[in-house]
Chains A and B, each alone.
Chain A
Amino acid sequence: MNPTLYLLLSLLLFGLGAAGVVLRRNTLFMLLNLELMMNAVGLALVAASLAGLLEGQLIVLMVLAVAAAEVAIGIGILVSMVRLKDSPLVDLWNREEP
């Protein structure tokens, strides 16, 4: 099978995720977009296995485990920061900002 379409989809998802991370101000959405980017990479790896490279699938499993751990920590930090700063907007979290 030709993986080209999958890779194009992966690229699209990665681009969307990256744009979201940079453009969104809400930290929760930035984290969501980060997940999107990671999954786009995962999709690319799985698609690569269509060409016979099985290691990609193996890596995807590990990436998923790491992503789960990362989200647990990330959401934890996010919740405590929102409590501290009364806002989920990342630009307001700078120490010097009023």
Chain B
Amino acid sequence: MLWAASLALFAPLLGAILNGVFGHPFREKAHWPAVIAVGISMLASWWILGRVGFEPVVLDLYTWIPVANFVVPFGFYIDSLTAVMMGVVTTVSFLVHVYSIGYMHGDPGYRRYFAYLNLFVFSMLLLVLANNYALLFVGWEAVGLCSYLLIGFWYEKKSASDAGKKAFIVNRIGDAGFLLGIFTLFATFGSVRYDTVFQMVASNPHLYQGALVAATLFLFLGAVGKSAQFPLYVWLPDAMEGPTPVSALIHAATMVTAGVYMVARSHLLYSEVPQVGQLVASVGAFTALFAATMAMVNDDIKRVLAYSTISQLGYMFVAVGLGAYTAGIFHLYTHAFFKGLLFLAAGSVMHATHGELNMQKMGGFFRKMPHTAWTFLIGALALSGLPPLAGFFSKDEIIKHAYVTGHTFIWAVAVLTALLTAFYMFRLIFLVFFGKPRDAEIYAHLHESPPVMTVPLWILAAASVGAGWVGIGEEHSVFHRFLETALGEFHLVEWTVHRPAGVGLIALSVGVALLGILLAYSLYLLRKPDPALLARRAGFLYTLLKRKYYVDEIYNLFVVGTLRVTAKVLFWGVDRALVDGTVNGTGWTLAATGSVFRRWSSGFLRSYLLWILIGANFLVWFLLRSGGGH
């Protein structure tokens, strides 16, 4: 187990070092070390997935920080949750790596790209494998760094480097909270190890109520930043400036789900404080609806998918907030496949259109790129939650859980979001793949992508269809029983109301998905009613959505503006006036003194003699006055 985990973790690091440090001889062949490294990692993860037992395996490699009683080991915590996360991360990573060979072909930064991508896989596995919160935080920050590097991969583009900085800075707010959470845990339990903390909580849950509320809230703030929840979601749509495979891997399938993983990992803490869980679920539900509405009107193919990701992450937080940790992880797992697929297929479209992102310039692509179109359609159906595709099982489980536990309002929001999800996904499909071509120039140059890109698409499409089947049967399913060992099924909290859930509930969620598809069909294919006319009718509401609720503008005005003014005051008041003033003032004083006394060193011997004479006379006068030395 130790060897498999080490192999899975360090193979990508080795790949990153090979490409990043010694990679010059690889150049055009940079994908070989990268793909092989991730392949090894994937096989090792699968092996762990097959071998993981009932008890968590806690391994310490060495002590990383031994300072008095603050001891942080470098070690692994392997249970079924870890294994599932590793499997998802490495599998999607492997497919994205393969796909990137075709997508990034001929890019001047080819080698750098694969080095970053491998480094990301290493960081993500470190985050998943860590056996304490401090090491988790190392992985947490390292994936943030890789995200920053890859968003700004085409750094010569101003918008890309700005987006990278935005992602990094917004995440800083969340990470500050995360750090405070770790400090709170250490102050309360005297350790940041999972096993110690969990044991102490389990043995005496009521003793730590106050500290747990603080710690879970702080940790959740970190999750809000990393997993792009309201109000810190603003970086994710901009992160689409990076290469599309990166958006698929980091900003859809893996890194952004780190927050969900963290909450599920800390489920023993979260189930002790249901009030915090309520907050988590409410934030998730609000974000799900909020992001879905913005996705409805956006014309940028990747940004629609980005808002969709934010929205789906909201679903996951609804699940983990309401205590359905397995359902949350289940949705994370299926979402990784179909959202990764959707992004990669969108990348295939961009590859064919030479980077065109505006859906209004597309249309009728189905005939020219059938593989991309079919796989995209499968991904969209899975995301919309139609049976028997993967998204149906996972999303329905969350919606049902909200209903069963008596959270009617959250349930209603989730159902409404499901309607919007189907609508915006099929709006995208009808605009891009069906109808008449709206830009003859782009349409004429269309071509299907090479097999190195379409094969990963089909594999992911197969996963998007079949991945959900392990969850059939809910509590009694393979997936639930597998994760039961880690997530301890049914930490349902006291306020749970058990409402019976019938077949009607499933029919409703399928019904709203179909309704959304129909709506999109009539609006964007039949043009009845014409969407442009509808937009004009909606007036302010449409503008509000189109301008993304003016959130960026509000942040710019209040947060960025305030910081800018503060920075200016500090710059001119403290740095320039005080610090520079002191340093330069010292210099000026010495220079002024020097320019006065310089005149004495004239070089004229006789003037020196005169001064000696004056001095001698003064001395004699002084000695005589004070009594001649006696």
Contacts and interface: CB of A to CB of B under 8 A. Distances in A.
A25 interface: yes
A25 B603 contact: no
Interface string B585-609: 0000000000000000001111001
B613 A94 contact: no
A94 B603 CA distance: 7
Contacts of B606: 21-23, 25, 90-91
A90 B603 CA distance: 11
A18 B613 contact: yes
A60 to B, nearest CB: 20
Contacts of A94: 603-604
A96 interface: yes
A91 B613 CA distance: 18
A35 B328 CA distance: 107
A21 B609 contact: yes
Interface string B513-544: 00000000000000000000000000000000
Nearest to B602: A94
B610 interface: yes
B603 A22 contact: no
Contact of B609 (A22, A91, A93, A96): A22
A6 to B, nearest CB: 19
Interface in A54-98: 90-91, 93-94, 96-97
A15 to B, nearest CB: 10
B603 A96 contact: yes
Nearest to B607: A22
Contact of B604 (A21, A23, A91): A91
Contacts of A91: 604-606
B605 A90 contact: yes
Nearest to A90: B605
Nearest to A93: B605
Interface string B179-197: 0000000000000000000
Nearest to B603: A94
B601 to A, nearest CB: 12
Interface centre among A91, A93, A96 (most CB of B within 10 A): A91
Contacts of A25: 606
A22 B604 contact: no
Give chain A's interface secondary structure class.
helix
A4 to B, nearest CB: 16
A77 B613 CA distance: 23
Interface in B559-612: 603-606, 609-610
B603 to A, nearest CB: 5
A94 B610 CA distance: 17
Contacts of B609: 21-22
Interface in A9-30: 18, 21-23, 25
Nearest to B605: A90
A86 to B, nearest CB: 18
A43 B565 CA distance: 81
A94 B613 CA distance: 21
A72 to B, nearest CB: 21
Contacts of B605: 90-91, 93
A21 B608 CA distance: 11
A22 B159 CA distance: 77
B605 to A, nearest CB: 5
B443 to A, nearest CB: 83
A84 to B, nearest CB: 16
Interface string A17-49: 010011101000000000000000000000000
A93 to B, nearest CB: 8
Contacts of B613: 18, 22
Contacts of A18: 613
A20 B606 CA distance: 10
A61 to B, nearest CB: 24
Contacts of B603: 94, 96-97
A79 to B, nearest CB: 18
Contacts of A23: 606
Nearest to A18: B613
A25 B607 CA distance: 11
Contacts of A21: 606, 609
Interface string B605-627: 11001100100000000000000
A73 B624 CA distance: 35
Interface in B331-360: none
A90 B607 CA distance: 11
B592 to A, nearest CB: 24
A23 B610 CA distance: 9
Nearest to A94: B603
A94 B608 CA distance: 13
A17 to B, nearest CB: 11
A97 to B, nearest CB: 8
A58 B358 CA distance: 112
Contacts of A90: 605-606
Nearest to A91: B604
B65 to A, nearest CB: 64
Contacts of A22: 606, 609-610, 613
A11 to B, nearest CB: 11
A22 B613 CA distance: 9
A55 B613 CA distance: 26
Nearest to B613: A18
Nearest to B606: A22
Nearest to A25: B606
Nearest to A24: B606
A89 B605 CA distance: 11
Nearest to A27: B605
A91 B603 CA distance: 8
A96 B602 CA distance: 11
Nearest to B614: A22
A24 to B, nearest CB: 8
A98 B613 CA distance: 28
Given A94-B604, A96-B603, 13 more contacts: A21-B606, A21-B609, A22-B606, A22-B609, A22-B610, A22-B613, A23-B606, A25-B606, A90-B606, A91-B604, A91-B606, A94-B603, A97-B603
19 contacts: A18-B613, A21-B606, A21-B609, A22-B606, A22-B609, A22-B610, A22-B613, A23-B606, A25-B606, A90-B605, A90-B606, A91-B604, A91-B605, A91-B606, A93-B605, A94-B603, A94-B604, A96-B603, A97-B603
Name the 10 nearest CB pairs between A and B, nearest first. Answer: A94-B603, A22-B610, A90-B605, A22-B609, A22-B606, A18-B613, A21-B609, A91-B604, A22-B613, A96-B603
Interface of A: 18, 21-23, 25, 90-91, 93-94, 96-97
